[in-house]
């Protein structure tokens, strides 16, 4: 199945201060110190330029409540003070990223204001600047064009919504991000995953980016042949990318099949000029909780016929997701109505067969027809029916272009219509910043080493087996490997096989390795390097840490009783074990080495180097046999 995928990667930079003020870039968990309330607005004459999604959000007239910390945000984030000059540390990091991605660099950086009126920016716009363009990155032999590298401020974190109010927290607002966009040339789920990995790896190798969950966010644009360009936002885990792409291909194909089936059935757009029918009476004594609650609150039940759709609303297009799900998503978005059902899932949810038959009768549904049923406040219910009909019309066309959000299982849900062209104008509070040749020459020295050079070093200097070296080079933990070897002094092969082998095995065994942070791993390697842990015990310690993430490597060793023994202590244990099996030894001589080794290992595994144990067993065995 051919597809075209482009990536848009947002990576937080690891700078001391935010992009336009001196505030720290750490996210907070404690209670905010204070809140304030704002509205955003545009002149009505400008609204004509708004895309439908923005206009819709705007028309809700939301109040934005911002939570803030005295020591975490300042007047700049509150939009009570003009921005300070662009953070030079962030600019340098963005330039390094752009250069590492082989971009052309602009001669002068112009900061722009990109209008965003969902409240996530207190100003009503996001400040963003284009740093590099027309770059490339090699992904497994394929040259993938990098269209742009931009430096921008992150938005405030949405922390809740109640009534007409949206709650945001200001800690994240203003944290510098680089945004990397590739051309839509990736042609398979695996390739998309590899490209994201390669770019993520490069970002980490610059040493200028933040690590950990939530510090990198991948957006994908995906289209299949005959489908449409669909944006998928907010894929946080790299591993999920191939799955998201695969499931999106599946969805677009499913929608194309539904379209073809509708055409075969002769369903025309005109057939969908349906008016909703008020079927409230039918549900007067209903057993459906959702329906009862909506009607008791003064709501109505509206039904609308979907001619020729029978069986198609319930057809699965992604695991657990159907055309009916997509209609419900739309109704929720445009009408904020939750109680929506379609005929392919009824009877069910407390709605009985009798009720279904009555609705079908009132709508005049034939056997090939489907219907949608909405419970809610009259105005909202009508809007929901409109949204359903609109989605039904789109089903006749195939795949609607739209912005979708990734679910944790790799499926996606409708988020909003495709945004229109970005509306940008210059940020006049920030002067243009010249980028000189000298500046770029100085930064060229700070670029990460190219992969070929690294391969040479890993195999020649670190003595890694070529296969293992290649594995490390493809790994998302490449930078961690380098740190563990260079900064911590752990043995390269151990580090490489732990990161690329042990972790995979542990995951396969169901150990929650996602709990292991870079700090956990470095802590373990440090202990190995210091002689506080033998390499055989590493898997057990990692398993313990994954299950007890608040522990340290030393704590794990203590809890597991894996403190390394001295050679003399170990020799004592070996003697003790051999004495216990003296009969066998006398009988079989040196042939008893195998069983003896097994018995000793049961006591000493993970507490001394295996080769050393073997040496001790041999020595003690010989001594016993000789000494008699």
Partner 1 sequence: MSAEGYGEAAAELLSAAGAGVFDEVELERDDGALVRGVLLPRPQYGDPNVLVVKLPNGYNVGIDARRVKSLRRVGRVEPSRGAAAPAPSPKPGLPRVHFVGTGGTIASRVDYVSGAVYPYFTAEEIYSMVPELEDVALVSAETLFNVFSEDMTPRHWSAIAERVAKVFESEGPAGVIVAHGTDTMGYTAAALAFALRRLPGPVILVGAQRSSDRPSTDSATNVLAAAVTAVKAPFAESVVVMHAGPDDTAFYVHRGVRVRKMHTSRRDAFRSVNAVPLAKVELPSRELKVFARRFTPRSSEGVVLEGGFEERVALVKFYPGMSPEVLDFLVDRGYRGVVIEGTGLGHVSADLVPSVRRATEEGVVVVVASQCIWGRVNMNVYRRGVELLKAGAVPAEDMLPETAFVKLSWVLARAQGREEAVRLFLTNVAHEMDERSEEWYYPPLNYFERYVRG
Q: Which residues bind partner 1 (CB under 8 A)?
A: 33-34, 36-46, 48-49, 70, 75, 78-82, 104, 106-110, 112-115, 117, 122-125, 128-130, 133-134, 148, 150, 421-426, 431-432, 434
- Tell which positions 107-126 bind Zn ion, by CB under 5 A: none
555 binds, among partner 1, Zn ion, none (CB under 5 to 8 A by kind): none
Q: Which stretch binds Zn ion (CB under 5 A): 35-43, 77-85, 185-193, 588-596?
A: 77-85
Output 428 or 550, the one with its CB closest to partner 1.
428
Residue 9 lies near Zn ion (rule: CB under 5 A): no
Shortest spacing between CB 16 and Zn ion, in angstroms: 12
81 binds, among partner 1, Zn ion, none (CB under 5 to 8 A by kind): partner 1
Shortest spacing between CB 412 and partner 1, in angstroms: 25
Q: Of residues 74, 155, 271, 529, which one binds Zn ion by CB under 5 A?
A: 74
| Cα 458 from Cα 449, distance rounded (Å) | 12
Distance of CA 553 to the CA centre of its chain: 28
82 binds, among partner 1, Zn ion, none (CB under 5 to 8 A by kind): partner 1
| Cα 134 from Cα 331, distance rounded (Å) | 41
Enumerate residues 6+ apart whose C-beta is below 8 A from 380. 335, 336, 337
Shortest spacing between CB 107 and partner 1, in angstroms: 4
Residue 511: C-alpha distances to residues 240, 471, 543 (Å): 19, 22, 6
Output 36 or 455, the one with its CB closest to partner 1.
36
Question: Please, are residues 372 and 328 in contact by the beta-carbon 8 Å criterion?
Answer: no
Output 437 or 561, the one with its CB closest to partner 1.
437
Closest by CA position to 122, among listed 26, 56, 58, 38: 38
Output 32 or 400, the one with its CB closest to partner 1.
32
| Cα 608 from Cα 476, distance rounded (Å) | 31
| Cα 562 from Cα 15, distance rounded (Å) | 39
23 binds, among Zn ion, partner 1, none (CB under 5 to 8 A by kind): Zn ion
Label residues 18-32 b or e (16+ Cβ within 10 Å = b). bbbbebbbebbeeeb
Output 67 or 620, the one with its CB closest to partner 1.
67
User: The tokens of 247 are what?
Assistant: 């499931």
| Burial status of residue 603 (CB atoms within 10 A of its CB: 0-12, 13-18, 19 or more) | middle
311 binds, among partner 1, Zn ion, none (CB under 5 to 8 A by kind): none
Closest by CA position to 333, among listed 55, 56, 51: 56
108 binds, among partner 1, Zn ion, none (CB under 5 to 8 A by kind): partner 1
Residue 90 lies near Zn ion (rule: CB under 5 A): no
112 binds, among Zn ion, partner 1, none (CB under 5 to 8 A by kind): partner 1
Output 174 or 492, the one with its CB closest to Zn ion.
174
Output 171 or 248, the one with its CB closest to Zn ion.
171
Shortest spacing between CB 559 and partner 1, in angstroms: 33
Q: Which stretch binds Zn ion (CB under 5 A): 70-78, 101-109, 178-186, 375-383?
A: 70-78
Q: Of residues 7, 12, 19, 21, which one binds Zn ion by CB under 5 A?
A: 21
Question: Please, are residues 58 and 50 in contact by the beta-carbon 8 Å criterion?
Answer: yes
User: The tokens of 370 are what?
Assistant: 């489907």
234 binds, among Zn ion, partner 1, none (CB under 5 to 8 A by kind): none
Residue with tokens 């995953």: 193
Output 122 or 403, the one with its CB closest to partner 1.
122
User: The tokens of 361 are what?
Assistant: 């009768």
Residue 23 lies near Zn ion (rule: CB under 5 A): yes
Shortest spacing between CB 74 and Zn ion, in angstroms: 3
Shortest spacing between CB 126 and partner 1, in angstroms: 11
| Cα 445 from Cα 452, distance rounded (Å) | 17
Beta bridge partners of 277: 303
Question: Please, are residues 248 and 319 in contact by the beta-carbon 8 Å criterion?
Answer: no
Closest by CA position to 306, among listed 284, 330, 286, 323: 323
Binding mask 227-266 for Zn ion (x = CB under 5 A): ----------------------------------------
Given its phi and psi angles, is residue 377 left (phi above 0), alpha (psi -120 to 50 degrees) or beta? beta
User: The tokens of 66 are what?
Assistant: 């911002």
Shortest spacing between CB 574 and partner 1, in angstroms: 57
CB atoms within 10 A of CB 329: 21
Question: Please, are residues 565 and 610 in contact by the beta-carbon 8 Å criterion?
Answer: no
39 binds, among partner 1, Zn ion, none (CB under 5 to 8 A by kind): partner 1
CB atoms within 10 A of CB 258: 22
Closest by CA position to 402, among listed 234, 222, 230: 230
Shortest spacing between CB 424 and partner 1, in angstroms: 4
Q: Of residues 5, 40, 50, 76, which one binds Zn ion by CB under 5 A?
A: 76
74 binds, among Zn ion, partner 1, none (CB under 5 to 8 A by kind): Zn ion
Residue 249: C-alpha distances to residues 6, 187, 222, 313 (Å): 14, 11, 8, 19
State the DSSP code for 518. Answer: H
1 binds, among partner 1, Zn ion, none (CB under 5 to 8 A by kind): none
Output 107 or 260, the one with its CB closest to partner 1.
107
Output 3 or 50, the one with its CB closest to partner 1.
50
101 binds, among partner 1, Zn ion, none (CB under 5 to 8 A by kind): none
Question: Please, are residues 307 and 272 in contact by the beta-carbon 8 Å criterion?
Answer: yes
Strands 230-235 and 402-406: parallel
Output 76 or 468, the one with its CB closest to partner 1.
76
Q: Residues in the site for Zn ion, rule: CB under 5 A?
A: 21, 23, 74, 76-77
């Amino acid at each position: 199945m051919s597809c075209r995928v482009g990536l848009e990667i947002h990576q937080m930079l690891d700078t001391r201060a935010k992009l336009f003020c001196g505030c720290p870039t750490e996210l907070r968990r404690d209670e905010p110190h204070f809140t304030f309330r704002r509205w955003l607005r545009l002149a009505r004459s400008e609204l004509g330029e708004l895309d439908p999604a923005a206009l819709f959000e705007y028309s809700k007239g939301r109040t934005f409540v911002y939570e803030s910390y005295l020591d975490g945000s300042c007047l700049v984030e509150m939009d009570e003070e003009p921005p300070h000059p662009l953070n030079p540390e962030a600019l340098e990091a963005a330039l390094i990223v752009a250069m590492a991605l082989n971009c052309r660099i602009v001669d002068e950086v112009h900061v722009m204001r990109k209008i965003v009126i969902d409240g996530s920016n207190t100003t009503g716009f996001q400040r963003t600047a284009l740093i590099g363009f027309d770059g490339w990155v090699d992904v497994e032999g394929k040259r993938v064009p990098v269209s742009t590298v931009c430096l921008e401020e992150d938005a405030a974190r949405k922390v809740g919504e109640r009534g007409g109010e949206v709650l945001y927290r200001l800690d994240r607002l203003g944290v510098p991000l680089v945004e990397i966009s590739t051309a839509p040339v990736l042609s398979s789920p695996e390739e998309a995953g590899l490209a994201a990995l390669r770019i993520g790896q490069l970002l980490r190798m610059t040493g200028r980016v933040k690590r950990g969950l939530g510090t990198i966010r991948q957006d994908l644009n995906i289209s299949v042949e005959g489908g449409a360009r669909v944006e998928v936002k907010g894929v946080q885990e790299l591993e999920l990318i191939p799955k998201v792409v695969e499931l999106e291909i599946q969805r677009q194909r499913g929608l194309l099949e539904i379209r073809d089936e509708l055409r075969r059935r002769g369903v025309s757009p005109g057939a969908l000029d349906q008016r909703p029918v008020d079927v409230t009476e039918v549900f007067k004594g209903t057993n459906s909780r959702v329906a009862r609650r909506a009607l008791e609150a003064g709501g109505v039940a509206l039904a609308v016929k979907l001619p020729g759709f029978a069986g198609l609303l319930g057809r699965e297009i992604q695991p657990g997701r159907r055309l009916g799900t997509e209609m419900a998503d739309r109704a929720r978005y445009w009408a904020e109505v939750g109680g929506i059902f379609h005929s392919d899932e009824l009877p069910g949810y407390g709605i009985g067969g009798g009720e279904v038959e009555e609705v079908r009768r009132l709508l005049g549904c034939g056997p090939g027809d489907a219907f949608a049923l909405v419970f809610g406040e009259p105005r909202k219910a009508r809007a929901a029916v409109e949204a359903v009909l609109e989605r039904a019309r789109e089903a006749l066309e195939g795949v609607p272009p739209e912005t979708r959000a990734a679910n944790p299982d790799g499926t996606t849900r409708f988020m909003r219509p495709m945004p229109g062209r970005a509306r940008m104008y210059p940020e006049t509070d920030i002067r243009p910043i010249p980028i000189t040749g000298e500046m770029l020459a100085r930064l060229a020295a700070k670029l990460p080493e190219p992969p070929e050079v690294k391969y040479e070093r890993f195999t020649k200097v670190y003595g890694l087996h070529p296969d293992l070296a290649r594995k490390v080079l493809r790994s998302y933990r490449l930078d961690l490997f380098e740190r563990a070897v260079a900064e911590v002094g752990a043995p390269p092969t151990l580090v490489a096989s732990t990161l690329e082998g042990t972790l995979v095995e542990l995951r396969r065994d169901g150990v929650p390795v996602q709990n292991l942070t870079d700090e956990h791993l470095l802590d373990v390697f440090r202990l190995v390097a210091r002689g506080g842990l033998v390499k055989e015990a590493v898997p057990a310690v990692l398993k313990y840490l994954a299950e007890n993430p608040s522990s340290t490597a030393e704590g794990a060793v203590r809890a597991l009783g894996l403190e390394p023994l001295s050679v003399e202590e170990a020799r004592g244990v070996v003697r003790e074990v051999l004495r216990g099996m003296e009969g066998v030894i006398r009988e079989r001589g040196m042939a008893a080495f195998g069983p003896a080794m097994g018995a000793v290992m049961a006591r000493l595994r993970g507490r001394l180097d295996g080769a050393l144990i073997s040496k001790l067993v041999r020595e003690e065995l010989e001594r016993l046999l000789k000494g008699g």
